Structure 1
């Protein structure tokens, strides 16, 4: 088991994170709700949960720190295979987010591997290696926190508005610069990415956050 890891270029290592929101859920009226006391629901317990919890999926390129995120709502988990198809495909409709292509290696926490064993097998069949690390998911968790901290203004609004907003958030974060002298994450990705390996056509894509 690796204690530390590094990436050499964009699309060398991608981090996949799936997490049940600690605070957000869909009300019976179809509107986004917020509970101040954190939920203790996990991916493993999502199907039997009494609420329609929000689930956050995030894929991050470790080198450039670009990330692509989506949200869905329980009780069924959104399709992880479809999420990865959208994360890895070229995005001509999102010019600010150049992230696309299959990585050489992936970091997937044990909780996500247990929740999506078929997808993990499919990833390995594509020749993508799984890196077993003791720690290092702080950056992926940071993306989850970014999502949670960015949707407060959607409380009380239809959940489909939240679902539609997430790709926009990923694009905005990709082009963000702290100063005019700094390169954006999108700039770093474009300047250093090698040949892009596109996703096989056998990976079917379905609408965003479709329950399974």
Structure 2
């Protein structure tokens, strides 16, 4: 029997914890809410609460601190045998702990004769944890901090199901996987001979917990109808949510409902608080799932690249469905002048930007080209973004065609891009490329300082700019600096042509 505070190797002692959140609960709309004042609730008395609380299942190695966890709610509790099997089995899922321990701390609050008998049959000796189970309290607090950051702050999909998408980030932070104190590596490096002990097949594992109807406090010990094979914990933590606003809908299109939804988005754009903007966008989507601007607003409020892309994709889909294929055929070439097209065009611009940032560059370029086909007048300034993308991807023929299409453009964006394009395609410095560069320098003299690194490009870009202004230079340099850096001798050429 190990000392209550000292273990000598990995998998000697594991700690089981099932804790009802005192801060997080699920609202009627299915979204998580954080309550600053803690609620006096635990796994035994939670039925008295009128709220659906988050529940944390944690299995932690005492020696190394490595652990596995799952999050569900009080309405969808995971049978303890299933969670223990998940923690101890070594399946295909990436985990940071497996193999049965010699000893297991089981808090009295979740202990039951059925659970203890099953563990004894498996050869795992049960211990009661020290008073307070301090390490368990800390790990719950840290998990809640990460959920608050990754789900409530960084994303707009605040359903409890969204937590699963961020589990790897939570592990990475709490196990310090990229830093010196790597708890998982400590666990791996300190497994003694005979460990990790192999876990029986799921069917045999569950049979050890004979009483199918037994419960530990309010938690079932086993599933009353266990499967022959382990199918994971998704059935407990991934629920279908009625009126879920983040998935596409086949509801009949209504122009009046779309109009009402769009009015809410106009209000949302004026709202000062993020919480209010999210509320109005979700409400708009409940009125009409065809409201593309609702998806655009949600994407703008998210900091998660995957979620941003998915939301813009849904915005593009919603916008296209609301307009109809015939509309595209009849009005290509004059989009944006038609007010109804603007939500779709905003969504498509956002999607292209998110694809570019996540490395799907050819898809992004394709979307930018499509926007110019639909609206060659380019009220959104897409030609400037596309030119920078083509430069960086060294698509010189496409860039040449774009420059010819907008030959009369007087902004510094096109002047500097034309100069760099000419330098690259005509063999370097010559009369033509030098003339283009002179025109560029005349259009905005602030640009070279940012391209040459004499001035730093600010983290937050300006919202507005005037022709020839420093704000215009900052925006251009942020988009085009990599292309200038990738072009051999281009920056030397630029520096050589600066006035004394």
Superposed pair shares fold, TM > 0.5: yes
Match of 1:145?
Answer: 141
Task: Tell me the distance in 1 between the aligned counterparts of 2:72 and 2:109.
Answer: 17
TM-score, reference length from structure 2: 0.38
For the 8 Å contact 2:108–2:128, the answer to whether it is kept is: no
Q: Does 1:109 align with 2:102?
A: no
Mean Cα displacement is larger for which, 125-134 or 54-63? 125-134
Of 205, 223, 226, the match for 1:203? 205
Q: Residue 171 of structure 2 aligns to a residue in which SS?
A: helix
Give the drift of 1:66. 0.3
Q: 1:82 to 1:144 in 2, by over 3 A?
A: same
Gaps of 5+ in 1: none
Q: Which residue does the alignment assign to 2:58?
A: 58
Q: Which residue of 2 aligns with 1:75?
A: 75
Do the aligned residues in 2 keep the contact of 1:32 with 1:157 (CA within 8 Å)? yes
Distance across 2 between alignment mates of 1:104 and 1:86 = 17
Residue 25 of structure 1 aligns to a residue in which SS? Answer: strand
Matched, 1:162 2:163: yes
CA shift, 1:147, in A, is 0.8
Which stretch has the larger CA shift, 39-48 or 60-69? Answer: 39-48
Task: Report the counterpart of residue 124 of structure 1 in structure 2.
Answer: 120
Q: TM-score, normalised by structure 1?
A: 0.84
CA contact (8 A) 1:4 1:133 kept: yes
Structure 1 distance, partners of 2:169, 2:92, is 13
Q: 1:190 to 1:80 in 2, by over 3 A?
A: same
Aligned-pair CA distance for 1:123? 1.3
The answer on whether the counterparts of 2:31 and 2:159 sit within 8 Å (CA) in structure 1 is yes
Q: Is the 8 A contact 1:105 1:131 kept in 2?
A: yes
In 2, Cα distance between the equivalents of 1:112 and 1:174?
26
Whether 1:190 and 2:188 are equivalent positions in the alignment is: yes
Residue by residue, what CA displacement relative to the aligned partner does 1:12-56 show, whole Å, maximum 9, x if unpaired?
000111111010011121111111221112111223431111111
Higher strand share: 1
**In structure 1, the residue corresponding to 2:47 is in which secondary structure?**
coil
Alignment match, 2:174: 173
How far apart, in 2, do the equivalents of 1:92 and 1:146 lie?
27
C-alpha displacement at 1:175, in angstroms?
4.3
Q: Quick one: distance in 1 between partners of 2:197 and 2:173?
A: 25
| Larger Rg over CA atoms | 2
| Distance (Å, rounded) in 2 between the aligned partners of 1:120 and 1:98 | 25
Aligned-pair RMSD on alpha carbons? 2.6
Distance verdict in 2 for CA 1:209–1:150, change over 3 Å? farther
CA distance in 2, matches of 1:73, 1:31: 12
CA distance in 2, matches of 1:136, 1:42: 14
Report the counterpart of residue 8 of structure 1 in structure 2: 8
**CA distance in structure 2 between the aligned counterparts of 1:28 and 1:198, rounded to whole angstroms:** 43
SS of the residue corresponding to residue 22 of structure 1 reads: strand
Question: How many pairs does the alignment contain?
Answer: 204
Instruction: Return 5+ residue gaps in structure 2 as ranges.
Output: 207-229, 238-500
Q: Secondary structure at the match of 1:24?
A: strand
